[in-house]
C-alpha cells in the first residue's frame, strides 16, 4: 500500500506502511506531542534506542498496523510528518478489537492528513483476521481530535471524569469506538 495524497496546499505527501528507517521520525513526533503537554497523558519523552526498536519489532512481529505520512521534501527523520497505529488489544478475549493512536506534526495539522491516515489504517487493519472494532480514548479538551473521530464515525461510549491530572489540572477521558464493517459500508 502506497498512496499519494494532495493536500489543500497543493503539496503532495505519501501514505504508506512503517519501515525500519522511520523509527526515529515516528518517535520524534511522539516526543514533540509529549512536550506540547496537552494531548497525551504522558510526562516523559522516549529517548531509549532499546525502547524504540522493541516498539518496531512488536509492530512487525505481531502484525500490528502503523501507517506513516511522509513528506519527501525532507530527509529522515524529518520526512515523517504523521503516524497512525492500530495495536492489538492486550486481552486474549479481545483479539477482534484494535486500539488506535494518532499523531500529526504541528505544522501539518488541519490539512486532512489525520483523516487519511485513519481511513487507511482502518482498511489495513480489516485485512488482518477477524477484526471487528476499533477503540480509542481522548482528552475531552482535544476538540480537533474529537471532531475528526466523530467525522470518521467513532461514537462516544463513555467519559471517565478527571481520569488524568497534569500540570495542576484534571482531564476527562472520552472513550470512543467504531465498528469496522459499518465504516467500510458507509465509505465504499
Ligand atoms: C488530532 C490530529 C491527529 C488530527 O490530525 P489532522 O491532520 O490535524 O486532522 P485533519 O486535518 O484530518 O482533521 C482535523 C479536523 O479538525 C478540525 N478542527 C481543527 N481545530 C478544531 C477545533 N478546535 N474544534 C473542532 N474542530 C477543529 C479541522 O477543521 C478538521 O476538520 P474538517 O476536515 O472537517 O475541516 C492532530 O491534530 C494531532 O496530532 N494532534 C496532536 C496529537 C493528538 O491530539 N493526538 C490524538 C490524541 S487522542
Question: How buried is residue 172: exposed, middle or buried, by Cβ count under 10 Å (0-12/13-18/19+)?
Answer: middle
Contact (CB, 8 A) for 105 and 82: yes
Q: Nearest residue CA, atom 22 of ligand 1?
A: 144
pLDDT for res 146 = 98
pLDDT for res 122 = 98
Domains (range + CATH), the chain:
2-186 (3.40.630.30)
pLDDT for res 60 = 97
Lining residues, ligand 1, CB within 6 Å: 33, 39, 102-104, 109-115, 138, 142-145, 147-148, 151
What ligand 1 atom has the least distance to the C-alpha of 113? Answer: 7
The answer to whether the pTM exceeds 0.75 is: yes
Select from 70, 101, 110, 119 the residue to mutate for testing ligand 1; criterion: most ligand atoms less than 8 Å from CB: 110
d(CA 173, CA 138): 6
- Percent of the chain at pLDDT > 70 equals 100
Question: How remote is the CA of residue 84 from the centroid of ligand 1, in Å?
Answer: 13
The three cell numbers locating residue 152 = 470518521
> How many angstroms separate the most distant Cα atoms in the chain?
45
Q: Nearest residue CA, atom 14 of ligand 1?
A: 110
Question: How remote is the CA of residue 103 from the centroid of ligand 1, in Å?
Answer: 10
Q: In Å, what is the CA distance from 114 to each residue of 50, 51, 62, 101, 131?
A: 28, 25, 24, 11, 21
Using one digit for the tens of pLDDT, what is the confidence trace for 7-19? 989 999 999 999 9
Using one digit for the tens of pLDDT, what is the confidence trace for 98-125? 999 999 999 999 999 999 999 999 999 9
Contact (CB, 8 A) for 64 and 87: yes
Nearest to 117 by CA among 155, 77, 145: 145
Question: How remote is the CA of residue 68 from the centroid of ligand 1, in Å?
Answer: 16
The phi, psi pair for 18, rounded to 5°, reads -65, 140
Amino acid at each position: 500500500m502506497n498512496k499519494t495524497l494532495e493536500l489543500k496546499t497543493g503539496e503532495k505527501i505519501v501514505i504508506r506502511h512503517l519501515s525500519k528507517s522511520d523509527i526515529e521520525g515516528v518517535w520524534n513526533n511522539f516526543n514533540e506531542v509529549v512536550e506540547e503537554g496537552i494531548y497525551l497523558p504522558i510526562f516523559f519523552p522516549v529517548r531509549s534506542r532499546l525502547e524504540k526498536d522493541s516498539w518496531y519489532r512488536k509492530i512487525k512481529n505481531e502484525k500490528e498496523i502503523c501507517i506513516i505520512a511522509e513528506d519527501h521534501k525532507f530527509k529522515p527523520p524529518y520526512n515523517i510528518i504523521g503516524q497512525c497505529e492500530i495495536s492489538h488489544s492486550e486481552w486474549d478475549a479481545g483479539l477482534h478489537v484494535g486500539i488506535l493512536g494518532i499523531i500529526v506534526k504541528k505544522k501539518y495539522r488541519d490539512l486532512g492528513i489525520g483523516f487519511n491516515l485513519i481511513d487507511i489504517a482502518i482498511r489495513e487493519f480489516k485485512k488482518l483476521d477477524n477484526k471487528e472494532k476499533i477503540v480509542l480514548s481522548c482528552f475531552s479538551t482535544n476538540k480537533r481530535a474529537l471532531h475528526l473521530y466523530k467525522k470518521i464515525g467513532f461514537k462516544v461510549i463513555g467519559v471517565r471524569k478527571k481520569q488524568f491530572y497534569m500540570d495542576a489540572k484534571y482531564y476527562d477521558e472520552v472513550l470512543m469506538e467504531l465498528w469496522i464493517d459499518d465504516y467500510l459500508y458507509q465509505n465504499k
